[in-house]
Amino acid sequence: MIEELNRIATAMVAPGKGILAADESAGTIKKRFDAIGVASTEETRRDYRELLFRSKEAMARHISGVILYDETIRQNAKDGTPLVKLIEAAGSIPGIKVDMGAKPLAGSPKETVTEGLDGLRERLADYHRLGARFAKWRAVIDIGPRMPSYNCLNANAHALARYAALCQEAGIVPIVEPEVLMDGDHTIDACYEVTEWTLKEVFQQLYYANVALEGTILKPNMVIAGKKCPTQAGVQEVAEKTVRCLKACVPSAVPGIAFLSGGQSDEEATAHLDAMNKIGGLPWGLTFSYGRALQAAPQKAWSGKTENVPAAQAAFAHRARMNGLAARGEWSPALEKAA
């Protein structure tokens, strides 16, 4: 079982490939569709995701796996082919978001804990049957006055570990996602401290829950200043501090780390990933698991019109290629201009 989980996890972080996060909840995708003037219906959501999964160049060359939402893993393409089969045909691995979202944490005002453990064993068995070979669970950690509290970190790390253990029991690779948010006015050094504390707590709980790290992928935030911080760190500083933090916290048994973009612009997320890989000498692969940073451009190009599908696929292929190069440390700003 561990060998098979390790094989899947290693394929998910293959050199030059990363993970497409297409697991937006109904609320989130409605917001994104509102921005491009498209009504969010079961049909428009399917059409949009189908155009991504049928983007042959992007999927085959640069996308190792796709995180799906419950609706999407059960949907068929317009011609009746299950969307999961389109992903598999492109050589990618289907995955599934299984958490039920961040809810207010009792006893810790303003903080949240991610829910979804009840009935998870049965849901994982169902998702495995539908073709999912990895899963995702996101914990949300906020930085603010007297935040995070140990209560919040401990509750979220414990839930991540229980989720990961259930995934591995079901033959599914867990993506463990503790996201320290970049909202707020905190400095990059405050982010470093909280990210280090969070990761150490998470790996301690994974150890207690007997989770095999060889069959686990970490999806962390980058170490970055809050959006409202007057001093924003340069690309090199973000890369160096993130790598230093990860080296201090993440065991080398983990096959790979796939970053979330967390509100960075498309190009920032790519530049930061590239700079980290240029540092080199890392015990694990560093790649991307981006949602908005891969999808903002194709969404805008598509705008709900069938005739725009080729343009949207070209925009998606470009962003996937740029991030694929960044995952090898081979990206440069000049390549953005060339496109």
Instruction: Return the H-helix or E-strand segment holding 93.
Output: strand 93-97
Alpha-carbon gap, residue 312 to 49, rounded angstroms: 11
Distance of CA 64 to the CA centre of its chain: 12
Cβ(115)–Cβ(140) below 8 Å: no
Q: 319, 293 in Cβ contact below 8 A?
A: yes
**Centroid of chain to Cα 243:** 18
Segment (H or E) for 139: strand 134-141
148 preceded by a cis bond (ω within 30 of 0): yes
Q: In the annotation, is 336 catalytic?
A: no
Pairing of the two strands 102-104 and 112-114: antiparallel
- Whether 150 and 109 have beta carbons less than 8 Å apart is answered as no
From the list 50, 177, 179, 201, the catalytic residue is 177
Q: How many angstroms separate the CA atoms of 225 and 187, rounded?
A: 5
Concatenated DSSP letters of 180-217: E---SS--HHHHHHHHHHHHHHHHHHHHHTT--GGG-E
Residue among 97, 136, 219, 241 flagged as catalytic: 219
The C-alpha atoms of residue 137 and residue 174 are separated, in whole angstroms, by 8
By three-state DSSP, how is residue 330 classified?
coil
Query: Is 179 marked active-site?
Result: no
- List the catalytic residues: 177, 219
